[in-house]
Amino acid sequence: MDEKVLALVRKFSDAKKPIASVCHGQLILAAAGVVRDRTCTAYPAVRPVLVAAGAKWVEADTMKKCVVDGNLVTAAAYDGHPEFISLFVKALGGSVAGADKRILFLCGDYMEDYEVMVPFQALQALGCHVDAVCPDKGPGDKCPTAIHDFEGDQTYSEKPGHDFALNASFDGVDASSYDALVIPGGRAPEYLALNEKVLSLAKGFMDKGKPVASICHGQQILAAAGVLQGRKCTAYPAVKLNVVLGGGTWLEPDPIHRCFTDGNLVTGAAWPAHPEFVAQLMALLGIKVSF
């Protein structure tokens, strides 16, 4: 309904610059009049508007559906982010090298929503094979998540997040088949750190020198596994005690989006650090995006 927004979108369309729109974002494309005779998809409820605007509608058989028509990339919902991001990178003239990697995510109930979903989908978008496991759960099972936000209070606030679907079995994990381990933060690490199988898994990756990327409260697991001795790392500030008592050298996360790499170990303080967190893990894995 904002004419300035519509004018901006038309400029990108007229210049044939890449446009990527997901879910209900296509309502703006329809209002701007830039979808006539263009093939696209969207969240199903947006179909009547797109059809009325002259678009060639593609039904989303799953919420992962993505469609490309020239400079226009459209997707049905956030489930499609891996392909959506990959297609947008290609539309920008990008290519990915070294992404033939297998990554394991160590998950648990009430892990932080962003801290599992963002790196999980980002690594998939790069072309990595990514598996997510949780003790006592199998493929297709879900983990509830929590959203931790920083709103000016003395500590983070906590809200319900999305359910996160696992795609592999913890009991069937062959650690030797994976190139790296990612540990999200949130509530899950405080109880996963009591699980000897979890600690053994984390210790195995560290002992073999494979890349391990841990964020926020994930370092509670590394401390309990006894793998932080002599290592430099950061974490959510409240986890400093775990790091120091675990023999690690504490690196202050100032600002909160700072991440650090020490050998095979990447650590971050919280989800605002995702750009650095993913980039530093990519560097350890030898994954490069070129334009």
Annotated active-site residue in 40, 128, 134, 217: 217
Can 257 be counted among the known catalytic residues? Answer: no
How are beta strands 249-250 and 164-165 bridged, if at all? unpaired
| Dihedral (CA of 289, 104, 77, 256) sign | negative
Catalytic residue among 23, 128, 233, 259: 23
Check 216, 233, 259, 274 and give the catalytic one: 216
Q: Do residues 122 and 83 touch, judged by C-beta distance below 8 A?
A: no
Residue 259 designated active-site: no
Known catalytic residues are 23-24, 216-217
